[in-house]
Structure 1
Amino acid sequence: MGASHDNVIGLILAVSSSVFIGSSYIVKKLGLKKAADNGNRAATGGHSYLCEPWWWAGMITMIGGEIANFAAYAFAPALLVTPLGALSIIFSSVLAHFILKEKLHMFGVLGCVLCVVGSTTIVLHAPHERAISSVKEVWHLATEPGFIVYMFIVVVVVTVLIVRCVRNHGQGHMLVYIGICSLTGSMTVMSVKAVGIALKLTFEGSNQFIYFQTWFFTIVVVGCCLLQINYLNKALDAYNTAVVSPVYYVMFTSFTIIASIIMFKDWATQDASQIATELCGFVTILSGTFLLHKTKDMGTKPSEATVYSSPQLPKDTRTHETIQI
């Protein structure tokens, strides 16, 4: 990573974003748990959490983190900003351990460390971002055949997950909710990057809001964010926060980097050794997430290993054995 002024600003914004977002998971979960005692749970389609101040506090915190993250993309490349989301894993896991009493085993701590090590490896070997002078350039990149194919696949998979899988498998397979959030998130980041560039260029004196492409990307950002918020709420309500955070991070980061590679052709300027190092970073992150998931219930009592039940659901649908990814 270069020591340019823009990169420093992007780094500070990305770290601040991780702190805010990591905290928001905990605060929102407190609101969702309180809402479960007073009405239908979010995981079963209830919206009583909208009346909980704790949930709104978490929502405001997450919005603050997303704004910082949004700004970071305007100053630094996506392959630098996105992996720094690993810091939110550490922050949310530690807070979940002390505040929500969700046990984090020592091997879970090691898993978090591996996530950070892998992210650091990617950051140190990330390619330089291509210079873009107009939002029209981003539009041209987004309408090339390779990225159009990627967008088509994302839309088809997300549609199938929402229409066919959420109702039947959402309560037993976390990847249904997380998959929707992650795939949609990759499209969000590409659009956020476009809007961020448009804002930055506009502040520099070149108005980008006279082009319809800027408004199109803005609409995509809003729509994708609303979809992510809805299904992230369901995932947080149904599953352990210490597991949701890292799995969501790994999938979101992976799909985002894939989208960035296809759209901005980041690997075109790198040699084989640099690409191999970045792939090793991905493997390290995946290893840390796998370790965290497999050890999440070690050292807990049997009654503590289950997800809290709800009167609206049969008990046998909320046991540890049925919750798989």
Structure 2
Amino acid sequence: MVHDECTDVEGSGRLMESRRVGGRGAVCETQHLPDANAKTTLQPEASWETACPTIQAPGCPEMPPGAPDSLPPTAALQQTVTPTNSLRFLSVLGFPAEIHLFGVLLAILGNLVISISLNIQKYSHLQLAQQEHPRPYFKSVLWWGGVLLMAVGETGNFAAYGFAPITLIAPLGCVSVTGSAIISVTFLKDNLRASDLLGMTLAFAGTYLLVNFAPNITQAISARTVQYYFVGWQFLIYVIFEILIFCILLYFYKRKGMKHMVILLTLVALLASLTVISVKAVSGMITFSMTDKMQLTYPIFYIMFIIMIASCVFQVKFLNQATKLYNTTRVVPVNHIFFTISAIIAGIIFYQEFLGAAFLTVFIYLFGCFLSFLGVFLVTRNREKEHLQQSYIDFGNIPGKQMLDKIQPDSNSLSYGTLPDGSDSTNSQSGEKKEV
């Protein structure tokens, strides 16, 4: 981009700053002119697409009939997008010029609210378990309060994708895990282990690196931009490859009965990549509609909305199946790692978020992801085993009753639910009645 001076335009007697874009000609801009009514004049070699390569910039002429209202950013302009009305609107509200930091704040607050909601729901379950006649949890006001807070937190995460890149928002899910551990120690009186402190420290360090070395782009997501990316060859190849892997894993899961945790969570991750792409598209178009031009009339908005809902439903289905078959302390860290990796790949391929990034920046970003993964693993490691209550009654501790065996063996053994001699509970009860 070469800067020079424009000649006198329309006899105004003032000089204006100009720039050359891609060698196609000088494009005069009027932001430095004192006259607010002055209009931009394009040189003969320039075109509307040259003047406004990404979005309709302030001072640009009106769009010609049939011209797209938003074109995809190029590599040279992706790091410095011309401010739109939406960016100026947020600046008026007091937000910094780096709007992606506002998205980071929304994501962190949303994840913290989610962690609070999970602990409230856990506390309500503990209260109901202590009652003599426990009622269903869905009749508890406290439990519904936790559900409401979770909805607020998820809304914050949803809105964050409209202001910041996927590669910045997705790894911040570690804040929810570490925040939940801190809150459970404070309010639920859980034990604070040395691994918890180490895991929280690593997660916070990784979050700091992620925020500072993630792609620093401010990209306005309009319907035309999403349409361009949606039919791009990179995304088409990625979708075909993802569908093939999904079908192969689904075949082994359904037909062969292979229900390994890695298979289930890989299915979740493949669906999650479509979820984050559609969430950012829907959130970005809603944000663009609120601050600039209406985008909800385009069919691509509803296509992305349907993809978002469908992928979320099937994602929850496979995730619930994994939590039923395996311990939560194993599912949570692996799911966080798989989800973050799939989201990062989706952001790189669909929205080209690392386009033109330096190698050192990418390396430090990946190192931050590794620290957050390790922190989540340390926080969740063996945590649930510490809270397992005794699953049987030891009659040896009851005065006047002497028995050598327990009424039920260890819950992890194959004979759980039966007596040690292999007889069922009905026969044992009838035999005890005869003895009496």
Per the normalisation by structure 1, the TM-score is: 0.74
Q: Secondary structure at the match of 1:186?
A: helix
Which stretch of structure 1 is more off in the superposition, 81-90 or 53-62?
A: 53-62
Residue 178 (1) aligns with residue 265 (2): yes
1:197: how far off?
1.6
Quick one: which of 276, 287, 296 aligns to 2:363?
276
Describe the superposition over 1:126-146 as per-residue Cα deviations: whole angstroms up to 9, x where unpaired.
112253362221222132222
Describe the superposition over 1:218-239 as per-residue Cα deviations: whole angstroms up to 9, x where unpaired.
1111112222333444445555
Is residue 24–residue 62 contact of structure 1 (8 Å, CA) maintained in 2?
Answer: yes
Partner of 1:122 in structure 2? 210
User: Which ranges of structure 1 fall in alignment gaps of 5 or more residues?
Assistant: 37-47, 320-325
1:87: how far off?
1.0
Partner of 1:39 in structure 2? none
Quick one: which of 57, 68, 75 aligns to 2:163?
75
Partner of 1:147 in structure 2? 235
For residue 110 of structure 1, what is the amino acid of its counterpart? L
Is residue 275–residue 308 contact of structure 2 (8 Å, CA) maintained in 1?
Answer: yes
Is residue 198–residue 214 contact of structure 1 (8 Å, CA) maintained in 2?
Answer: yes
Quick one: which of 222, 247, 254 aligns to 1:134?
222
Partner of 1:250 in structure 2? 337
1:217: how far off?
0.4
1:125: how far off?
0.7
Q: Secondary structure at the match of 2:354?
A: helix
Partner of 1:42 in structure 2? none
Residue 191 (1) aligns with residue 278 (2): yes
Is residue 105–residue 295 contact of structure 1 (8 Å, CA) maintained in 2?
Answer: no
Q: How big is the alpha-carbon RMSD for the aligned residues of Structure 1 and Structure 2?
A: 4.0
1:124: how far off?
0.5
Partner of 2:297 in structure 1? 210
1:24 to 1:177, Cα distance in 2 relative to 1, 3 A: farther
Percentage of matched positions with identical amino acids: 27
Which stretch of structure 1 is more off in the superposition, 96-105 or 58-67?
A: 96-105
Distance 1:288 1:213 in 2: 38
1:198: how far off?
1.0
1:103: how far off?
5.9
**When you count helix as a share of all residues, which structure comes out higher?**
1
Partner of 2:288 in structure 1? 201
Distance 1:119 1:25 in 2: 21
Partner of 2:60 in structure 1? none
1:272: how far off?
1.3
Distance 1:165 1:241 in 2: 20
Distance 2:317 2:192 in 1: 26
Is residue 206–residue 370 contact of structure 2 (8 Å, CA) maintained in 1?
Answer: yes
For residue 273 of structure 1, what is the amino acid of its counterpart? L
Distance 1:264 1:202 in 2: 19
1:12 to 1:287, Cα distance in 2 relative to 1, 3 A: closer
Describe the superposition over 1:147-171 as per-residue Cα deviations: whole angstroms up to 9, x where unpaired.
223223333444454553379454x
Aligned residues: 299
1:80: how far off?
2.4
For residue 110 of structure 2, what is the amino acid of its counterpart? S
Which stretch of structure 1 is more off in the superposition, 209-218 or 148-157?
A: 148-157
Describe the superposition over 1:265-319 as per-residue Cα deviations: whole angstroms up to 9, x where unpaired.
2222211111111122223233334444655479x59x6699xxxx9xx854799
Q: Secondary structure at the match of 1:21?
A: helix
For residue 127 of structure 1, what is the amino acid of its counterpart? P
Q: Secondary structure at the match of 1:131?
A: coil
Distance 2:345 2:166 in 1: 11
The structure having more radius of gyration, on CA atoms, is 2
Distance 1:157 1:27 in 2: 38
For residue 231 of structure 2, what is the amino acid of its counterpart? T
How do 1:19-38 residues align onto structure 2 when only pairs under 5 Å count? 19-27=112-120
Partner of 2:82 in structure 1? none
Residue 14 (1) aligns with residue 107 (2): yes
Describe the superposition over 1:236-271 as per-residue Cα deviations: whole angstroms up to 9, x where unpaired.
555555554443322212211111011122222211
Distance 2:175 2:362 in 1: 23
1:196: how far off?
1.4
Quick one: which of 354, 377, 386 aligns to 1:267?
354
1:90 to 1:176, Cα distance in 2 relative to 1, 3 A: same
Per the normalisation by structure 2, the TM-score is: 0.57
Distance 1:94 1:60 in 2: 21
